[in-house]
Structure 1
Amino acid sequence: MLNLTRPDGSEPEDFHVSRRAAVGMFFAGYALAAVSAEASPITTSTDGLVIEEGFVPNGAPKPLPAYIARPAGRGRHAAIVVVNEIFGIHDYIKDICRRLARLGYVAIAPDFFYRSGANLPAMTSIDQIRPIVAQAGVEQVDGDVRAVTTWLKAQSFVKPAQIGITGFCWGGAVVWRSAMVDPDIKAGVAWYGQLKPLIARAAELKAPVLGLYGALDQGIPQADVEAMRAALKAAGKSAAEIRVYPDAQHGFHADYRASYNEADAKDGWARMLAFFKAHGVG
């Protein structure tokens, strides 16, 4: 494993590894509890990328593991924190990082559930996974995000004033909260993250967030979406946006799941990239 501790940021030569080195500390494959046999997930090449496994100091006895993808060569880049679903760091999340890296970003996916010691992607039952995820409390996770953005600012390959965050499902709610509590976040894009606990906190938003939701989502009522829209408007958060896709279910971007909606996933991805650029991330 790579311990990224050089004050001015780590370079591949520090670790004597190939830029195509296999990453081994995260699950190889897609989350078993959700993968569809009929799915054809996108696989992004590592050509021209540096792929690293690292540890981010976060004040815990064991530091925060992270999967990192970034453009090869020297130079500084905007950075995006990628927050996983309840299934942890598996091939879908790693590929999201590679997609962003090929667009010129430093992408980092922290393993927020590492304290449990459980291999969530390998579990086949949601009932097994939920209690483990519940152990990752709000303050702990928000603190881990702060540790990641602090670490990013210290790296020689990151533009410290251009840090964004995106997240899916469980990670979508993390995006909304991070935009409220982490001053280093310049913009966030939340994919179908729970809203109910956050509606009353809309006025706390310090960075703009784009929320991407499906009208057919059985877990996030449209009443919650409309309530958040109203709360954002009442709080004067005009830079925040929510887009609802009429034909989309929960998980419509997850190309390894039966809920995948290719057209809406592509539209949401394009909107995400435009939103980041419009708000100074990239």
Structure 2
Amino acid sequence: MVTLTRPDGTQPQDLHLTRRGAVASMFFAGYALAAVAADAKPVTTPDDGLIIEETFIPNGADKPLPAYVARPKGSGKHPCVIVVNEIFGVHAYIKDICRRFAKLGYVAVAPEFFYRSGVNLPALTDFKEILKVVGQASVDQVDGDVRATSAWLKAQKFAKGDKIGITGFCWGGAVVWRAAMVDPDIKAGVAWYGNLKPLIARAGELKAPVLGLYGALDQGIPQTDVQAMKAALAAAGKKGSDIHVYADAQHGFHADYRPSYNEADARDGWARLLGHFKANGVA
């Protein structure tokens, strides 16, 4: 990770790196080695018309939170989306998601939630080692990093701080549900196949509407959990929140670099995401 210092201390401009600058990127250049399919043909979004940056977000830790940012060029303020990674950290897929949002007029930021370990997660191929690193990121720590990210967005001159959404995949899907419970700056969330079991009893805590996108063939998230969460949402009167289940989709159906990718369902889910954000003021 890049560390910038001055004799008189770190200044705000030191925590703001452009990809085109002389400083090497803080993030892994390719796709997560543990999951990428040999025959994958992932979506690649060009960065023309965009500003791509790497920054550090103050979060109260000794070392601040690294983040990848994509936003439209030009002046003006834009709605925002926090993009939460899978267990593999910030790699090419997550960065491309950010660019997709930026092409649609959003400021998209992907924090590197696992940075404290000092491990380059996307470069690992052993799932046991990956899960060991992921397990070090506590719920309170991650939720605090999300709140730090939304606070950072509110302070940026190019961001509409009252229009912040969040979306996340796999591990990040659960983060989305929690963020809608604990971060008052989040206006809407979209969770892609995130673990539900520990969150069902907390459905009543939701302060922002969440759309869940899940696959019926997911071997890690049973449909009993999905149905239980839907029932909990209804019982709590959370009418703006719902879960859509894709009959032919597996876990990771949006991940276009993985064997589980389902193009039709990924496209439909993306359209639903945009509709959910628009309906809830994140557009």
Bucket of the pairwise TM-score, normalised by the shorter protein: over 0.9
Matched with 2:219 is 218
Q: Distance in 1 between matches of 2:3 and 2:271?
A: 32
Q: What is the aligned residue count? A: 275
Aligned ranges 1:92-241 → 2 under 5 Å: 92-241=93-242
Offset, 1:264? 0.1
**Change beyond 3 A, Cα 1:203–1:52:** same
Determine the C-alpha separation between the residues in 1 that align with 2:78 and 2:21: 20
Question: Aligned partners of 2:152 and 2:91: how far apart in 1?
Answer: 22
**Counterpart of 1:270 in 2: which secondary structure?**
helix
Alpha-carbon shift at residue 241 of structure 1 (Å): 1.2
Q: Deviations over 1:127-174 (max 9, x none)?
A: 110011000000000000000000000000000100000000000000
Q: Taking structure 1 as reference, are residues 207 and 18 closer, same or farther at Cα in structure 2, changes over 3 Å only? A: closer
Identity %: 71
Kindly provide the amino acid, as one letter, of the partner of residue 104 in structure 2.
L
SS at match of 2:186: coil
- Take 1:73 and 1:245, find their aligned partners in 2: how far apart are those partners? 38
Shift in CA distance, 121/18, structure 1 to aligned 2, threshold 3 Å: closer
Query: Structure 1 residues 121 and 234, CA, compared in 2 at 3 Å: closer, same or farther?
Result: same
Gaps of 5+ in 2: 5-9
Shift of the 2–186 alpha-carbon distance from structure 1 to 2, 3 Å rule, reads: farther
8 Å Cα contact 2:19/2:53 also seen in 1: no
Q: Distance in 2 between matches of 1:145 and 1:169?
A: 16
1:270 equivalent in alignment to 2:267 = no
Are the equivalent residues in 1 in contact too, given 2:255–2:261 (CA < 8 A)? yes
Cα distance change, pair 279–23 in 1 and its aligned pair in 2 (3 A):
farther
Give the Å deviation of 1:24.
Answer: 1.3
Give matches, 1:62-81, under 5 Å: 62-81=63-82
Structure 2 counterpart of 1:54, one-letter code: T
- Match in the other structure for 1:33: 34
Q: Secondary structure at the match of 2:67?
A: strand
| 1:213 counterpart letter in structure 2 | Y
Amino acid at match of 2:237: G
8 Å CA contact 2:19–2:54 kept in 1: the answer is no
In structure 1, runs of 5+ residues without a counterpart are: none
Distance 1:99 1:21 in 2: 25
Per-residue deviation, 1:87: 0.2
Shift in CA distance, 261/208, structure 1 to aligned 2, threshold 3 Å: same
Moved over 4 A (4+): 1-6, 17-23
2:90 corresponding residue in structure 1: 89
Relative to the length of structure 2, the TM-score reads: 0.94
**For 1:16-36, what per-residue CA distance to the aligned partner results, in whole angstroms no more than 9, with x for missing partners?**
x57698961100100000000
Distance 1:254 1:29 in 2: 14
Letter in 2 for 1:247: D
Deviation, structure 1 residue 125: 1.2
The separation in 1 between residues aligned to 2:202 and 2:187, in whole angstroms, is: 18
* Contact 2:187-2:208 within 8 A present in 1 as well: yes
- Partner AA of 2:136 in structure 1: Q
